[in-house]
Amino acid sequence: MAAEKSERLFQRASECIPGGVNSPVRAYGAIGDTPRFIREAKGSRITDVDGNSYIDFIDSWGPCILGHNDERIRDVVVKACERGLSFGCATEIEVEMAEFICAHIPSIEMVRMVNSGTEAVMSALRVARGFTGREKIIKFAGCYHGHSDAMLVSAGSGVMTSGVPDSAGVTPGCTKDTMTAIYNDLGSVEKLLEEHPGQVAAVIVEPVGANMGVVLPKEGFLQGLRDLCDKHQTLLVFDEVITGFRMGFTGAQGYYGITPDLTTYGKIIGAGMPVGAYGGRKDIMKMVAPAGPVYQAGTLSGNPIAMAAGLAQLQILYSEPEIYQKLSEMGELLYGSMEDFLKEKQIPCQINHIQSLGCLFFTENRVTDYASAKTADTAQYAVYFKHMLKSGIHLAPAQFEAMFLSAAHTKEDVDDTLKAVKAYFNSVKS
């Protein structure tokens, strides 16, 4: 597929944007190619500036659950734009959004809107510290919680792909109170809690590790975290930036039946618009200014356009639960068929998946944590990625990212994707 316009745009971008992209996850450096610059998207497909059309499995990194440019959401956004793009003042739509979330997510009694998942996590952890009077946080190696300084310790996602476990510019002082445990290893968490009695404000976790590929929690792991946090009077924070409203309307916490003390969301609540939120128990959230002493602010938080888009999507998802049934069935068709093919052909790769989330790892090892995820062959993934792109399949340009199905994906999309997957492995074997 021709990519001349994308290549020219990347050359221009590289002169005025660091690395030529505004987020490392868009970079194609890990697979030795040029980023495709996207012109438009509709349903399950995305089209670049050269006119190439792809079946898209990025879905704006998860939030386009209904597919790209859904007419129902677009119409709501257009009407909202006609009233004004931004006010910097309180609006009715942000109240409606907060009421809707609090009414339908059992763990959330109060919620604060912010502008990104990074901001949501940073704020939630500040509240956890303010509420408990403690300073230390436990996170898990390979779980990514945004790019705030304290969380760039053994982070996953784009940081993982680039081979930089932390980040230049993050001082030891910023991370001295962040401790790292092993995902799916309750013993590592218990050890840290016992070694620092009365000092840990919160344990934060991606209930499904979706920033080191897709890594599922072992049976009893999440409940074990809940029990440990209760025992040590530590708050449990679920980072549902990826899983929230995707693994079912109540997210991973509803799917697994675990009640966290605080929850963070990202662009998922804005149907892809730049937005985020954090919420939880009322006694904790009342610590947030101006109600309490924990300061957090955002001039454009609760932007009316983002709120309109997000509320429209959440209302559709709530009123049409069959969407989640379709996503589950399509996930099993795609990922389950990939899994069967790998087993049948005895190909040393792993496919981790749950509901509409999936990841193909180029490793013979079962992937259950950060260390096992890192055994994946990123060079082989680069070859696979290029093959899929040429076949009209748009994947994340990095081994350690999830694939996202949307309600707009069809059986034909899945069949075409499976055909491309099989063609790749058959060509490798031959």
Which residues are catalytic, by number?
144, 239, 267
Q: Which residue reads 């316009």 in tokens?
A: 5
Q: With H, G, I as helix, E, B as strand and everything else as coil, classify residue 257.
A: coil
Helix (H) or strand (E) holding 280: strand 276-280
Is the Cβ–Cβ distance between 205 and 229 less than 8 Å? no
Instruction: Please report, for residues 110, 134, 280, the alpha-carbon distance to residue 285 in angstroms, rounded to integers and kept in the order given.
Output: 6, 16, 6
Instruction: Please report, for residues 20, 35, 397, the alpha-carbon distance to residue 6 in angstroms, rounded to integers and kept in the order given.
Output: 11, 7, 15
Query: Quick one: which of 58, 49, 97, 239 has its CA closest to 156?
Result: 239
Q: How many residues does the chain have?
A: 430
What Rg do the C-alpha atoms of the chain give, in angstroms?
Answer: 21
Instruction: Please report, for residues 57, 198, 394, 406, the alpha-carbon distance to residue 61 in angstroms, rounded to integers and kept in the order given.
Output: 8, 37, 12, 11
Residue type, 405: L
Query: Quick one: which of 351, 356, 354, 353 has its CA closest to 326?
Result: 356
Angle at 224 between CA 222 and CA 227, to 5 degrees: 115
Instruction: Please report, for residues 215, 235, 281, the alpha-carbon distance to residue 126 in angstroms, rounded to integers and kept in the order given.
Output: 27, 12, 15
Query: Quick one: which of 174, 157, 136 has its CA closest to 370?
Result: 157
C-alpha 23/C-alpha 126 separation (Å) is: 25
| Number of DSSP helices (H) and strands (E) in the chain, helices first | 16, 14
Quick count: other Cβ atoms within 10 Å of Cβ 69? 15
Q: In the Cβ-directed half-sphere of 275, how many Cα atoms lie within 13 Å?
A: 23
Task: Give, to the nearest 10 degrees, the angle between helix 411-429 and helix 337-344.
Answer: 20
Burial of 41 (0-12, 13-18, 19+ CB in 10 A): buried
Residue 262, strand partner residues: 237, 280
